Amino acid sequence: MSQKTEQKGQSFLKGTAILTAATFIVKFINIFFSIPLANFLDDEGMGHFNTAYDIFVFFSVLASSGTPVAISRLVSVAYAQNRKREADKIFRVAFTLFSGIGLVGCIVMAVFSRQFAMLMNQNDRSMYAIAALAPMCFFMSLSSCLRGYFQGRSNMTPTAVSQVLESLIKLFVGIALALYFLKTTGLPELGAAGAILGVSIGSFFAVLYILLYYFRKSRDTRYSPFEPKVSSVGEILKSILTFAVPVIIGSAFLSALDIVDSSVMMYRLQGAAGVDANSAIAMKGWLGTARKYFDLPNAVIVPISTIVLPMLSGAIAKKEKREINRISTLSLRMTLMVAIPSAAGLCIFAKPICSLLLYSRPEFAANTAPLLAVMAPAVITASLLYTTNSMIQAVGKVYVPVINMIVGTVVRIGVVYVLCGIPEINAMGSAVGTFVSYLVMIILNLIALHRMLPEIPSVVRMGIRPLLASVIMGAVSYPVYLLLTRFMSEKFAVIPVILLAILVYLVAAVFTKAITREEIVQLPKGEKLADKLHLK
């Protein structure tokens, strides 16, 4: 490996490590945010909370999802070509454009909160939570522009710190406001609104931090007098929109899945399945909670997909074929290394995990666990979808993921419509639809990716060794769990078993050569670690 390649590899892993650490912290903070909410808000309150959050995710995607992707790619290409002035102008134009879009989204969400609540739940009691989330659409638009700029420069620190800061404020302020409104009004919908308001306040402070970071760093910027003339505002706008619009559309479809899924599920549950309104909202609460736990592996997957876009874009801009293949292969391998054992763990231990996280609500946990177990295999396909979307976008084929996600959306709606109308299946139909839709999307993505980058190895072949290591992990950890449940409750037994499962998986990954020496040596003190593990 050349020195040049080695440095890039270290940069890839370092950036991934920074974002992974931050995302892990954020995920744990979110768990501590969700646990008390799920325990002092009743099923109806959690239903209102999840309703607001689903709509927020959709609007935040429209306001900001394409922003960091477009800015990251364009800035990384500009820096790869030593055009710093161009990169900074790209950021300024994008910041102006998307802050306006975010402001419009904020106003629409606040003004039409009642209409959105009626559309989602056939009643308007979720309107307060929806209105409380509106400011975050604007704040997220600002922060996503700044994050995309620094990601394009392969600087993940501001993104990581701002995410942790946002989550901490959300935790303390959101819980405090939820408790205050519940105590003073006794209304679950206002308790949910208080929790959501904490989310908006957290996003404000995240923007404040990253803006201060930007102004401090911008003072040190130096431009070369030999740089070519920068593009006009019109040319930059065209480049941004050409790349961002299809990404936004694709991300909107992916986020709209939960909204459409939820609406179709509620319609079918209260219609064909004969479920009353309160029970349907409770089922929605179970499903929303299961989805939150389903998203936990994203703590590692999202950093991989975030890092691969600017790095692969830069390698493509420089036409470094060997580096293109190395980054692509490493990204897919890392994704599978995390996704496969995560899916296995969530599936095997869904019941005790839900019992632990929903400790004071055993009935809620018992209803959530089967949904999580059915959704768990989709962790693999969803994780691969994030990574392959970024890889395809880096190649420049931004419409391909959009088309594939539209197909997956149609499939999911069909599955949910049919299954949720069957009384014996009810909300489980949504969990099945999640798995089927992601499976369809990733199959289409992989077919497209192998046409664009034919030299990367087969994903199925890359997944064999992590799968074998995961089987060993399950075969060792589950009997130990059953043994421990003889001496303690299942919710406490799962804690040491999860730690054991992680250790067994890492040992099995080394034994099966799922982890290679080349990957280990790129870590801090990796040479010594590789020697101790006898990796060759």
pLDDT at 522 over 80: no
With 0-12 / 13-18 / 19 or more C-beta atoms within 10 angstroms meaning exposed / middle / buried, residue 225 is exposed
Q: Which of 285, 314, 298, 270 is nearest to 87 (CA)?
A: 314
Q: How many CB atoms lie within 10 A of CB 184?
A: 11
Decide if 65 is inside a domain.
yes
424 and 512 housed in the same domain: no
Give the H/E segment covering residue 125: none
452 and 465 housed in the same domain: no
Return the amino acid letter for 290: A
Decide if 320 is inside a domain.
yes
Average pLDDT over residues 171-199: 87
What is the reported pLDDT for 327? 86
Encode pLDDT of 474-501 as tens digits.
Answer: 999 999 999 999 988 888 999 999 999 9
303 and 446 housed in the same domain: yes
What is the reported pLDDT for 161? 93
366 and 505 housed in the same domain: no
Q: State how far the Cα of 182 lies from the Cα of 180, in Å rounded to an integer.
A: 5
Q: Where does a domain end: 392, 422, 457?
A: 457
What is the reported pLDDT for 348? 94
Domain that holds residue 44: 3-221+234-457
Q: Which of 7, 37, 25 is nearest to 360 (CA)?
A: 37
What is the reported pLDDT for 473? 96
What is the reported pLDDT for 11? 60
164 and 313 housed in the same domain: yes
CA distances in angstroms from 79 to 12, 59, 186, 238, 258, listed in the order given? 16, 31, 55, 19, 37
CB 98 within 8 Å of CB 65: no
CA distances in angstroms from 421 to 191, 258, 417, 495, 536, listed in the order given? 31, 17, 6, 37, 55
101 and 187 housed in the same domain: yes
In the structure encoding, which two tokens stand for residue 272, read together?
Answer: 């064909």
Decide if 204 is inside a domain.
yes
101 and 133 housed in the same domain: yes
CB 190 within 8 Å of CB 181: yes
Average pLDDT over residues 241-250: 80
Decide if 226 is inside a domain.
no
pLDDT at 420 over 50: yes
44 falls in which pLDDT band (50, 70, 90)? confident
Average pLDDT over residues 352-364: 87
What percent of the chain clears pLDDT 70, i.e. is strictly above it?
A: 89
Average pLDDT over residues 461-473: 94
pLDDT at 7 over 50: no
With 0-12 / 13-18 / 19 or more C-beta atoms within 10 angstroms meaning exposed / middle / buried, residue 386 is buried
DSSP designation for 228: P
453 and 480 housed in the same domain: no
pLDDT at 384 over 80: yes
Q: Where does a domain end: 457, 484, 501?
A: 457
pLDDT at 3 over 60: no
Q: Which of 71, 61, 449 is nearest to 243 (CA)?
A: 71
Decide if 448 is inside a domain.
yes
272 and 192 housed in the same domain: yes
Q: What are phi and psi of 123, to 5 degrees?
A: -155, 165
Buried b (16+ CB within 10 A) or exposed e, 401-411: bbebbebbbeb
Q: State how far the Cα of 455 lies from the Cα of 465, in Å rounded to an integer.
A: 20
Q: How far is CA 369 from the centre of its chain?
A: 21
Q: Where does a domain end: 437, 457, 477?
A: 457
437 and 353 housed in the same domain: yes
Decide if 437 is inside a domain.
yes
What is the reported pLDDT for 513? 84
Q: State how far the Cα of 89 lies from the Cα of 49, in Å rounded to an integer.
A: 39
pLDDT at 504 over 80: yes
pLDDT at 102 over 50: yes
Domain count, the chain: 2
pLDDT at 534 over 70: no
Helices (H), 396-489: 399-420, 428-452, 459-484
CB 55 within 8 Å of CB 120: yes
CA distances in angstroms from 11 to 76, 317, 336, listed in the order given? 14, 18, 20
453 and 469 housed in the same domain: no
Contacting residues for 137 by C-beta, under 8 A, at least 6 apart: 56, 59, 60, 63, 64, 102, 105, 106, 109
10 falls in which pLDDT band (50, 70, 90)? very low
Return the amino acid letter for 199: V
Average pLDDT over residues 494-509: 93
424 and 485 housed in the same domain: no
